[in-house]
Structure 1
């Protein structure tokens, strides 16, 4: 029989499994789905950007509500239910405007649930926060299985069948949230008298620099999320191979998560961030120069462990470091809003415009440049050990 300590970890892991399985079916293939309607690069960039647009507002709004009410798990359940209900409208959308509206509708709720679930997970773990990677790794497992399976499935079926795969995964996310119990680990009783003001925490120079770095990291992923799959398809890669290349990157992320606890014990957050940013530069340069060559491209995909995996964990850890418990919901939401939201949206739109003008090389070169700017900012400003958190 599973102990009470094991059961929550299984259920928490299940959320990440299904959430990132949905992402694995969405991000690599949604641009191909949009391409099937005859949309060009600029329109695809805008519509892909819609997936990120609601992350600018939704996570902060729901994070504020969760911190205020203390009903964090209830908000996650409501958001996941509303997401799949809104997504069903996509089956009647065949024009860019309607697809964009449906995307805004379902993503407003879908983008809100992950930051709050991150807080729930970390509160379940308590002092064992280094175990976070052991739970989060199941998100990578879900992504790998989904991206590979969907790729081969879309080789057999028309790409217009993709929304059915996505709908099933959204429903599974919602069903999983019903298994996570609400207790003191997830319900913090709302705002208390000892709560501190949020804005002064955000305005600290090191925190501002941290959020700008997060923005630049996700901005740099814009060409990858929006045009990596169409670029490979144009180079005569099959959808099955495209799926395997996406899966390879996340497999490297899984390996990183397995050893992440030791990495965190032996390296500072600052050093992990800087090394990961330099590896991100290398990844985008190789992708820009050698997309037609499978071996260099596969090696570049392995660097996803650094450009996303390591930097994501560092970001989560720094939010926990910079913000006290009563503001962590808003802190995680702002991390999502400015990085995945604003960075993802602007990165996708700019990538679409650059791709229309010059193709993949200048688009991925821009990604590398964004990471170089992030390196400069991190080198100057990110010194977590020097931050004094005076919450009084």
Structure 2
């Protein structure tokens, strides 16, 4: 293959992965901030809303490692993404036509089983491309964040004119596009059935996936990212209750993701200096500060400033965790490892989300203070095990 052909192939892969992220995060950018608003329009209580919003996080505790493990063992990562996305699209179509609480819970549970593995499988595919083709994960992932911004801004504008239920159908469109795009991507080495089966036969990843240090890092990352449950459940509702317009709510979500994009685009250089664990610790500390200040930022200007902390809180934690996993886990098991990380995140996000619902009914301010406590847990875990983690990360290149 000539140099020009190699460059075109590489560019095509970059565009394909970037588009895959964009399709997923367009759907997710509507789901995350506006699904609670749709539930509120159905007259569900804050506790009911918190429970439904927490379901995907609770379900993925079990569903993610199971579904990603099935995909890795089958060696059909791209096909798995396509099938799971289609099932999710159908489920959202049903959700748009449900108005009773019990039925909503049942459908969301089913939807969550297939939603859970979409991001970890996409991340696994992308990071295998990083390792095998020399691509930049941050650049490709930033297109997903850009699509998230577009979705939140679109959703905020749309809510000012139309009913929230109609946004659910746009989620369906994003998932269908994702399903189609995944089948257009080229295969990676681990997706060959023989290679995948070899990975499954080697003691089911006992050496790689059962290391204590790995679980310490994922536990800490799960706490840090789980602290965002209050934002996911009540961020939009909190801002709307303080007179911030629908359009400006969309801008606030977009501002946070812009900060996230900046970290993804520029974080590679810092990651090489600070290392994955250092990135995660900074993200946890940023989370503590963010949630302490959040309930007092009740104007658009002040909320905008706080939302820019998302780049530190989420961006650095996510990038650090992804870089850590890519360095310590082989491509054959990367999907399963990503699923394992989502199990920790789902556990803490689910528990924190339900807790936030109870507390929010009493006092919204205390609900966000509780999220600061969860983020503090992540920083404490990393701090207490810092010496041991540094010895472990000494085996891992910082970049």
* Range of TM-score over shorter length: over 0.9
In structure 2, which of residues 271, 293, 314 is the aligned counterpart of residue 264 of structure 1?
271
- Asked if 1:298 corresponds to 2:295, the answer is no
Which stretch shows the higher mean deviation, 122-131 or 170-179?
Answer: 122-131
In structure 2, which of residues 374, 381, 385 is the aligned counterpart of residue 377 of structure 1?
381
Aligned to 1:362: 366
Asked if the contact 2:222/2:348 (under 8 Å) is kept, the reply is yes
Aligned to 1:70: 75
CA RMSD of aligned residues (A): 2.1
Q: What is the correspondence of 1:254-333 to structure 2 with a 5 Å cutoff?
A: 254-288=261-295, 290-333=296-339
Asked if the contact 2:218/2:321 (under 8 Å) is kept, the reply is no
Question: Unpaired runs of 5+ in structure 1?
Answer: none
Q: 1:137 to 1:280 in 2, by over 3 A?
A: same
Aligned to 2:109: 104
Q: Shift of residue 181 of structure 1? A: 2.6
Aligned to 1:228: 235
Q: Shift of residue 117 of structure 1? A: 1.8
What are the superposed Cα offsets for residues 146-165 of structure 1, whole Å, 9 maximum, x if unpaired? 10111101101122222122
What are the superposed Cα offsets for residues 36-86 of structure 1, whole Å, 9 maximum, x if unpaired? 111111000001011222211222112211222212222111111221122
- Asked if 1:19 corresponds to 2:30, the answer is no
Aligned to 1:240: 247
Asked if the contact 1:123/1:186 (under 8 Å) is kept, the reply is no
- Asked if 1:219 corresponds to 2:226, the answer is yes
- Asked if 1:4 corresponds to 2:13, the answer is no
Asked if the contact 2:82/2:182 (under 8 Å) is kept, the reply is yes
In structure 1, which of residues 191, 195, 199 is the aligned counterpart of residue 197 of structure 2?
191
Asked if the contact 1:232/1:291 (under 8 Å) is kept, the reply is no
Pairs aligned (count): 387
Asked if the contact 2:229/2:353 (under 8 Å) is kept, the reply is yes
Cα distance in structure 2, aligned partners of 1:389 and 1:66:
28
- Asked if 1:140 corresponds to 2:141, the answer is no
Q: Aligned with 1:191: secondary structure?
A: helix
Question: Unpaired runs of 5+ in structure 2?
Answer: none
Q: Shift of residue 183 of structure 1? A: 4.6
Which stretch shows the higher mean deviation, 182-191 or 257-266?
Answer: 182-191
Q: Shift of residue 286 of structure 1? A: 1.0
TM-score (norm 2): 0.91
Asked if the contact 2:17/2:126 (under 8 Å) is kept, the reply is yes
Q: Shift of residue 184 of structure 1? A: 2.9
In structure 2, which of residues 6, 25, 34 is the aligned counterpart of residue 29 of structure 1?
34
Asked if the contact 1:55/1:108 (under 8 Å) is kept, the reply is yes
Q: Aligned with 2:116: secondary structure?
A: helix
Asked if the contact 2:190/2:332 (under 8 Å) is kept, the reply is no
Cα distance in structure 1, aligned partners of 2:172 and 2:184:
19
Asked if the contact 2:244/2:300 (under 8 Å) is kept, the reply is no
Q: Shift of residue 295 of structure 1? A: 2.6
